[in-house]
Structure formats: structure tokens, C-alpha cells
């Protein structure tokens, strides 16, 4: 039986508090949640050791990293997601890079996120190459969304792609609240050094964590729905709270890392978090797939990317041995209970060749595998602890508690 989005999220009985929260999250998440991905592809690419023989299976989310992997020239990339709306976004990106006539037009769509000719370019160049479901998605909207914004392809002609999606609305709300309390997160984007980044963070972002808004809303699991964090992942996050601390302390720590630990001039995750846009002027704080020097390579490799609505576990189980040798699971392990995790990793043992590399991230600091899968299954993999810890420190997105790399032994 094929895995569904609701089944993936619902691990507890509906009659329990946790089960109710999970059901609410499943309903909320069955929508257009992410307009970009929140995992750093630089870290992924180094951990995966991508080359021309790499056959990648990745969870799609906003689709940015699937596109970034293409720049590296792998043999193939297969992007799956239980959330069909994310596949529709990736399908749009893929058709755009294949059929738009220039880099400028492609960057207008996904770098700037908006432009006066995007609707015309969509109709002329992109629409004829979309499947019916993807086309229907972009040419429709929810009742409330349609009233406020028109159809979804109009995102690219009004406020812009990066002001929309559930995650986009979440960031917009908290930016407005920050401004009410005299905090201006976008000011940190003006920094010219790491020292100045720390100064601007201390002045314009850190005080917001002491406001009543954060102290109240930040402790509620439903608030984290806006970041795509399900209740079970929120529980994992809370495990890292120190003595006398709160989950607010973890938020503060990770946001400070995002704002201060990496040069702002090239950290596009910080630009999205604090400015809800990319750096369209200098075009350094943008994903690799949006840089002009990578455009022809991306276009040439676009035919190597396949998209599919579904689960990673089902895709592995239904594939031939050796179809994939690189696996990217984002933060999906945090969503899974022991049985679901066991099915996934057992499928890898059955269908992946020795040396296959598997990466994922977690809200908490520890890998969840030892506590959730049998020792004999775990023994099929080698945990690259030192490399995982080193790469975690390089992850510019900064929203997770750990990065994990496993290698299939036999």
C-alpha cells in the first residue's frame, strides 16, 4: 500500500493529544508549504561525494537541491515528495530551465521571484510542457488565496514567489511582529563583515526573542507548523533544552548562528530568513542553480531529473537493485516512528549497492537510528560521525540540531 502524507505524519492515536496535533499538522501540511528548501546543498554535495556515476534519490521539498545536484553532473536525480505541491513547484522549475529562452528569464522567475513578463512567459514557454496536475495547480488557488492573490502563477507578478507558501506567510507574519517591537531583521543583510553581522544581530534580531510574542507563541507546537515542523519533531527539539532553559533558547541559538556564523554576502538562507528574498543585485547569495555561470550546465543536465509524488521508501522498494546509490532524506527521520524507519532502512539494505551514501538532518543533536532500528539492521551501515559533525558546522541554513551521514557497508 502506498504511503500517504497523512499516514507519514500520523504516528499516534487521534484520541491522544499528540495524535490530534499530528492530524492537525497533516491537514495543514497538505498544501504549498516551502518556496525553497532549507538544507545546505554544499554540505550535501560534499557528504554524498557526487560524480558522474551518482544516482540520487532525494525528497524534493522546494526542489532547490535537486536542481543544485544537477549542476554537479550526476547520472540521475529522482525527486519524490508526499506533498504533491512541492513536486508541482519543482516541475515548474524543470520546465522553465528546459524551455525558457534565456538565463535572464529563468532568474526572473526563481531568483527575483517576480517580473512583469512572467505570466506571458509562462503561457508561451512553460505551460505547454507541464502535465495536467502541475498546470492545474499553478492556474488555480484555494478559495481564500484566489480571492487575495488570484491563481498561483500570479505569485510571480504580484508580491513574488518568496512572499508566498505557508512558510513564506509564516516569515512575513513574524517580520511584521518584529517591526512592531522595533526590531528590523533585514538590517543584518547590510553587514560587510562577521563582526558587523554580530552587532546588527544584537541590535535588530536578538531582542525579539525577549518579547511577549516569542515567549508565548514560541512555546506552542502549532506555531512551529509554519516552519514545517510536525509535533514529533518539536518533541525531539525539546530534548536539547538545557537545565533551566526553554525551547526559545534553542531558537535564539540557531537564529544567531544563521545571522552571525557565515558571511552574509553569500548565505542565501539568511537572506530568505531575514529579507524574504535573494540578493538579486550581487547574485552571490543565491543557490548555485540560479547563478549564471551554472545555467548552461543546468540546462544540459535537466533531462536527468525525474519527479514523482510518493514516498522515498516506496520508491526504493519498487526499484531495481542499484537504481540509487545516493539518498537524501532531509529531516524525514524526525517524522518517523521505529517501524517506519525500519522499513526505510531495510529497503536500502535490499536495493542499494555497497558504498551507497545516505544523509539526513534532525532537530535534535543525536542520530535517531540506534534507538529505533534493530542492531543487526544498523550494522549494515557505517556512521560517519566525525564527518557528520564537521559538515554540520558548515551548514549555512542553521535550523537543525545535527547532520548525519551513513554509508552502506555490504
Tens-place pLDDT, residues 150-183: 999 999 998 899 999 888 988 998 899 999 999 9
Please, what is the average pLDDT of the chain?
91
Backbone angles phi, psi at 402, to 5 degrees: -165, 160
- Of 144-153, 229-238, 348-357, the poorest mean pLDDT is in 229-238
The neighbour count for residue 294, using CB atoms within 10 Å, is 19
Local structure of 327: helix, strand or coil: strand
Is residue 259 in some structural domain? yes
Is residue 57 in some structural domain? no
Number of independent structural domains in the chain: 1
Is residue 132 in some structural domain? no
Domain extent at residue 251: 171-288
- Per-residue DSSP letter, 320: P
CA distances from 8 to 84, 85, 311, 332 (A): 14, 16, 9, 9
CA distances from 257 to 2, 133, 196 (A): 39, 39, 14
Is residue 315 in some structural domain? no
Mean pLDDT score, 90-118: 98
Residue 36 pLDDT exceeds 90: yes
CA distances from 89 to 165, 243, 309 (A): 11, 42, 12
Please tell me the predicted confidence (pLDDT) of residue 15: 47
Residue 277 pLDDT exceeds 60: yes
Is residue 79 in some structural domain? no
Local structure of 401: helix, strand or coil: coil
Is residue 88 in some structural domain? no
Is residue 216 in some structural domain? yes
Is residue 231 in some structural domain? yes
Q: Are 141 and 151 in contact (CB under 8 A)?
A: yes
Amino acid at each position: 500500500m502506498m504511503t500517504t502524507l497523512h499516514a507519514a505524519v500520523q504516528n499516534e492515536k487521534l484520541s491522544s493529544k499528540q495524535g490530534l496535533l499530528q492530524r492537525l499538522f497533516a491537514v495543514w501540511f497538505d498544501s504549498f508549504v516551502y518556496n525553497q528548501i532549507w538544507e545546505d546543498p554544499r554540505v550535501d554535495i560534499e557528504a554524498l561525494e557526487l560524480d558522474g556515476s551518482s544516482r540520487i534519490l532525494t525528497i524534493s521539498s522546494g526542489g532547490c537541491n535537486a536542481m543544485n545536484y544537477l549542476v554537479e553532473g550526476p547520472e540521475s536525480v529522482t525527486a519524490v515528495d508526499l506533498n504533491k505541491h512541492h513536486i508541482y513547484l519543482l516541475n515548474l522549475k524543470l520546465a522553465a530551465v528546459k524551455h525558457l529562452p534565456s538565463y535572464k528569464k529563468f532568474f526572473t522567475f526563481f531568483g527575483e521571484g517576480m517580473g512583469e513578463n512572467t505570466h506571458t512567459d509562462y503561457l508561451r514557454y512553460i505551460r505547454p510542457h507541464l502535465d495536467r496536475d502541475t498546470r492545474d495547480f499553478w492556474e488555480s488557488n484555494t478559495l481564500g488565496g484566489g480571492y487575495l492573490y488570484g491563481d498561483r502563477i500570479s505569485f510571480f507578478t504580484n508580491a513574488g514567489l518568496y512572499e508566498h507558501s505557508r512558510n513564506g506567510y509564516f516569515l512575513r507574519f513574524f517580520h511584521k511582529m518584529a517591526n512592531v517591537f522595533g526590531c528590523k531583521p533585514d538590517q543584518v543583510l547590510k553587514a560587510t563583515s562577521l563582526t558587523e553581522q554580530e552587532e546588527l544581530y544584537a541590535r535588530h534580531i536578538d531582542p525579539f526573542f525577549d518579547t511577549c510574542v516569542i515567549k508565548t507563541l514560541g512555546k506552542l507546537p502549532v506555531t512551529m507548523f509554519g516552519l514545517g515542523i510536525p509535533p514529533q519533531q518539536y518533541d525531539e527539539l525539546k530534548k536539547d533544552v538545557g537545565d533551566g532553559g526553554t525551547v526559545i533558547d534553542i531558537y535564539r541559538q540557531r537564529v544567531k548562528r544563521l545571522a552571525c556564523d557565515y558571511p552574509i554576502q553569500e548565505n542565501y538562507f539568511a537572506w530568505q530568513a531575514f529579507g524574504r528574498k535573494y540578493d538579486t543585485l550581487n547574485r552571490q547569495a543565491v543557490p548555485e542553480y540560479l547563478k549564471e555561470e551554472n545555467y548552461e550546465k543546468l540546462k544540459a543536465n535537466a533531462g536527468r531529473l525525474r519527479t514523482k509524488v510518493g514516498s522515498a521508501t516506496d520508491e526504493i522498494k519498487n526499484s531495481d537493485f542499484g537504481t540509487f546509490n545516493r539518498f537524501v532524506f532531509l529531516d524525514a527521520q524526525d517524522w518517523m516512528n521505529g517501524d517506519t524507519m525500519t522499513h526505510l532502512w531495510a529497503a536500502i539494505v535490499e536495493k542499494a549497492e555497497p558504498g551507497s551514501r545516505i544523509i539526513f538532518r534532525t532537530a535534535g543533536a543525536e542520530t535517531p537510528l540506534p534507538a529505533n532500528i534493530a542492531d543487526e539492521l544498523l550494522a549494515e551501515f557505517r556512521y560517519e560521525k566525525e564527518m557528520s559533525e564537521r559538515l554540520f558546522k558548515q551548514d549555512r541554513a542553521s535550523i537543525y540540531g545535527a547532520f548525519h551521514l551513513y554509508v552502506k557497508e555490504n
